[in-house]
């Protein structure tokens, strides 16, 4: 087992002392980097890039070559799971992901298969193993998945949605069908994350990208309850280290109390929630990750630095903070501005850890 040379991120997730606030960016391997765009062109298309272990490794490591980041995140996609369950993922130019089959009724549930992690999703595990080998202990590797609710929205709508018309209608007119879909997804996602951990992921994050679209009680019923089931079924130690779990619900600031009792080690925050308010709510139950608005990266480096300073002060002194954006970095961001963001965290955060 290769010794981890930088465990700052892991220590912060466990609310242990660190010398400075660790930092990484959601979607840090992505279209804002010219080297990523070149590698994607080499692969031919997005799915081919995901399924080529060496190229997926290359793009995973690209941002670590540019910036002093404290974690790498597996280059993949949340929709690998419904694709492996038989729905047929494809991408339309300018329209995002789509599925050839949708789940709209009890009969449609029969379309779903249970994927084997070393078969239909074996390319993901190959990428994890390749990345861990090439990281050589440089930084921890994050594995991830979409939440059952978020995956279900794509499977029911057939792609992305602004109003979630079909899945919300199902929640209220066919709740038994939606619950069965979510139950199956929770089982598959648990196996999927455990396979990533066994392949070498040292942290896992559940992306509940669309949980914030649900009503107050519906969030617990259709999203949080299934994430809690997943967390309870995960391997929490591997290769002699604890494997932390991060739960991120975009738009979920109003549910921090119940999220903090989910069994996760850390909660991700978007930019609509104050870090100081969140810290007061969760106490020492979980670490907090976030939460700068990605649009700040369109500003000047001086303005970016000022916003980093403000957010660090908002969290205050002590442990348990991982600096991140409140959602994924935008594709049109200047890479130099992303660098200014990371450098500001590195330079300004040590005073909060003395």
Packing angle between helix 175-199 and helix 165-173, nearest 10 degrees?
120
What integer is the mean pLDDT of 181-205?
98
Beta bridge partners of 290: 323
d(CA 150, CA 136): 33
Q: Is 31 annotated as a binding residue?
A: yes
In angstroms, the Cα distances linking 247 to 74, 78, 94, 250, 350 are 16, 14, 29, 10, 26
Which pLDDT score is estimated for 92?
75
What integer is the mean pLDDT of 105-122?
95
Render pLDDT for 7-56 as a digit per residue (tens, 0 to 9). Answer: 999 999 999 999 999 999 999 999 999 999 999 999 999 999 999 999 99
Q: Is 154 annotated as a binding residue?
A: yes
Is residue 143 a contact partner of residue 214, using CB atoms and an 8 Å limit?
Answer: no
Which pLDDT score is estimated for 3?
85
Beta bridge partners of 200: none
Confidence of residue 139 (pLDDT cuts 50, 70, 90): very high
Render pLDDT for 332-342 as a digit per residue (tens, 0 to 9). Answer: 999 999 999 99
- The helix (H) or strand (E) run that includes residue 196 is helix 175-199
Which residue from 164, 145, 172 is spatially nearest to 212, judged by alpha carbons? 164
Task: Check pLDDT > 90 for residue 304.
Answer: yes
The lowest-confidence range among 28-42, 92-106, 151-165 is 92-106
Which pLDDT score is estimated for 2?
75
Q: Is 209 annotated as a binding residue?
A: yes
What integer is the mean pLDDT of 134-144?
97
Mean pLDDT of the chain: 96
Looking at the annotation, which residues are catalytic?
27, 31, 40, 77, 154
Task: Check pLDDT > 90 for residue 306.
Answer: yes
d(CA 154, CA 102): 8
Is residue 250 a contact partner of residue 26, using CB atoms and an 8 Å limit?
Answer: no
Render pLDDT for 236-248 as a digit per residue (tens, 0 to 9). Answer: 999 899 999 999 9
In 10 A of CB 76, how many CB atoms? 22
Q: Is 219 annotated as a binding residue?
A: no
CA angle 324, 136, 22 (to 5 degrees): 20
Percent of the chain with pLDDT over 90: 95
Domains of the chain: 8-353 (3.20.20.210)
Q: Is 327 annotated as a binding residue?
A: yes
Which pLDDT score is estimated for 1?
59
Q: Is 37 annotated as a binding residue?
A: no
Q: Is 29 annotated as a binding residue?
A: yes
């Amino acid at each position: 087992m290769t010794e981890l040379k930088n465990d700052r991120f892991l220590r912060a997730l466990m609310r242990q002392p660190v010398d400075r606030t660790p930092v990484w960016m959601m979607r840090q391997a992505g279209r804002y980097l010219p080297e990523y765009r070149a590698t994607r062109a080499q692969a031919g298309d997005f799915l081919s890039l995901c399924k080529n272990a060496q190229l997926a490794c290359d793009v995973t490591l690209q941002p670590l070559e540019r910036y002093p980041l404290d974690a790498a995140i597996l280059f993949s996609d949340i929709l690998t799971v419904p694709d492996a369950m038989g729905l047929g993922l494809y991408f339309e130019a300018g329209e995002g992901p789509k599925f050839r089959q949708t789940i709209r009724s009890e009969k449609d549930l029969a379309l779903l298969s249970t994927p084997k992690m070393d078969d239909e999703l074996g390319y993901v595990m190959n990428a994890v193993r390749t990345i861990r080998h090439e990281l050589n202990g440089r930084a921890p590797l994050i594995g991830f998945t979409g939440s059952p609710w978020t995956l279900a929205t794509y499977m029911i709508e057939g792609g992305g949605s602004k109003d979630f018309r079909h899945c919300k209608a199902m929640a209220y007119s066919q709740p038994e069908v939606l619950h069965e879909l979510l139950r199956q997804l929770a089982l598959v996602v648990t196996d999927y994350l455990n396979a990533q951990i066994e392949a070498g992921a040292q942290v896992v994050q559940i992306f509940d990208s669309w949980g914030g679209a649900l009503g107050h009680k519906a969030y617990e019923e259709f999203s949080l309850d299934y994430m809690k089931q997943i967390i309870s079924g995960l391997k929490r130690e591997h290769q002699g280290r604890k494997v932390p779990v991060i739960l991120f619900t975009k738009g979920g600031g109003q549910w921090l109390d119940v999220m903090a009792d989910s069994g996760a080690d850390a909660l991700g925050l978007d930019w609509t929630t104050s870090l100081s308010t969140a810290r007061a709510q969760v106490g020492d139950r979980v670490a907090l990750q976030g939460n700068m608005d990605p649009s700040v990266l369109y500003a000047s480096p001086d303005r970016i630095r000022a916003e980093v300073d403000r957010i660090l002060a908002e969290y205050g002194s002590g442990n348990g903070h991982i600096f991140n954006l409140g959602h994924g970095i935008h594709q049109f961001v200047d890479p130099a501005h992303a660098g200014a963001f990371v450098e500001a965290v590195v330079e300004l955060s040590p005073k909060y850890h003395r």
